[in-house]
Amino acid sequence: MSLYVMKFGGSSVGDIERMQRVAGRIADKQDEGHRCVVVVSAMGDTTDDLIDQAKQLNALPPAREMDMLMTTGEQISVALLSIALHGIGRNAVSYTGWQAGFRTDETHGRARINEIVPRRVLEALEREQIVIVAGFQGMTLDGEITTLGRGGSDTTAVALAGAIKADVCEIYTDVDGIYSTDPRIVKKARKLKEISYDEMLELANLGAAVLHPRAVEYAKRHQVKLVVRSSFNHNEGTVVKEEARMEQGVVVSGIAYDKNVARISILGVQDVPGVLAQVFGKLAEESVDVDIIVQSGVQNEQADFSFTVALSDLARAKEVIEQLHASLPYREVTSEDNLVKVSIVGAGMVSHPGVAAQMFDVISKEGVSIKMVSTSEIKVSCVIESGNLQTIIQALHTAYNLDSAEQAFVGGPKDRR
């Protein structure tokens, strides 16, 4: 008997009818002779509704109390799904994240998993029960409830699959696989049969929302076979694994975009050793993640440099830099927030020169200037103004021969985690 971990996002269990459909899907998997562990997110917009209610009471609610609140959404989902399975004659049991053995650090709102002790999960499987686990949550050694942050349910599913040595971890969502780009923007996006961990990790980090980077990191580290498929149909999904076969002539596998981008420029900084270390060290202390960094040439012993941060971190990053002004004199600080990062990803880029030049050419033909560029062996990212995003993605998709003859499948509202 194969052991499957099945993860269903919020839109998949968004109402009673969808909950019943998911229960039927799990029952079908069991009827095929498989043991099943199921990870579930909160129903539909439950999490957003809870956040709104909290902020009506307090604009800056304490992180600990938010974790206490947020974890209730998943607990409702697992209990209802277990009840639904019992309703169709299946023996199921639901567990919170901490009952399933998730031990985390003490960072409320974005905790990291320290270890998983899945004793109760394994015992339930021995009793031939279907195990339903709440995603997105865990507990510290001191008994504090924590949440895992964005993509937490994906991370729960993959980490649990690694801990119990599952044969497959299936991520069910509103699209029937991983596409060459967002199928909501490009209707003729190509569904990939398979993709490597490294390519998927790049796409996830660059804005592709179908899988969270942390989940892909866990899958790669523990060699968990991942399959992304739809909860709305039975189409074959996309397999994420160590090495994927490259289609003949396909150099770029996918195109991702990230609208959560801002650029900060620090102008007129003295060109002496340690300046960058001082700036980015302080930003790191304040938990501000920096992405692309570009330093211009030196004039009159002064340099300019720019970097990108998440748009949500822009105000905090500027505040940190202003605090540095006394110890790090500079002429001025500027920022831009009407930006987007567009990226191409593909293992085939390593052996094909001219891929980046083609990207630059496509963007320039759309009359858009490139503000910053970042590259690796398998990706090229360009920061541009956000106005022509959809047109540029469609043009890049066509330029790299990614257009499909069939329209992409999108089955429902986008899962939030």
Q: Concatenated DSSP letters for 222-282?
A: HT--EEEEESSS----EEEESS-PPPTT----EEEEEEEEEEEEEEEEE--TTHHHHHHHH
Tokens representing 274? 């340690």
| 47 annotated ligand-binding residue | yes
| 8 annotated ligand-binding residue | yes
Cβ atoms 30, 128 nearer than 8 A: no
Least Cα distance to 8 among 292, 309, 241, 231 occurs for 231
CA 119 to chain centre: 28
| 10 annotated ligand-binding residue | yes
Rounded CA gap, 343 and 366, in Å?
16
217 burial level (CB within 10 Å; 0-12, 13-18, 19+): middle
Q: Could you give the dihedral angle defined by the CA atoms of residues 50, 54, 59 and 62, in that order, rounded to the nearest 10 degrees?
A: -110
Q: How far apart are the first and last CA of the chain?
A: 29
Rounded CA gap, 400 and 321, in Å?
40
Cβ atoms 93, 82 nearer than 8 A: yes
SS3 170: strand
| 184 annotated ligand-binding residue | yes
CA 122 to chain centre: 28
| 9 annotated ligand-binding residue | yes
Amino acid in the structure at residue 261: V
| 289 annotated ligand-binding residue | no
Strand order in the sheet with 102-104: 113-116, 102-104, 137-139, 145-147
Contacts of 262 (CB under 8 A, 6+ apart): 308, 309, 310, 311, 313, 314, 317, 335, 336, 337, 339
| 221 annotated ligand-binding residue | no
Least Cα distance to 153 among 173, 168, 130 occurs for 173
Report the binding-site residues for substrate: 47, 74
Which residues does the annotation place in the binding site?
Answer: 7-10, 47, 74, 173-174, 179, 184
Q: Which residues fall in the annotated binding site for ATP?
A: 7-10, 173-174, 179, 184
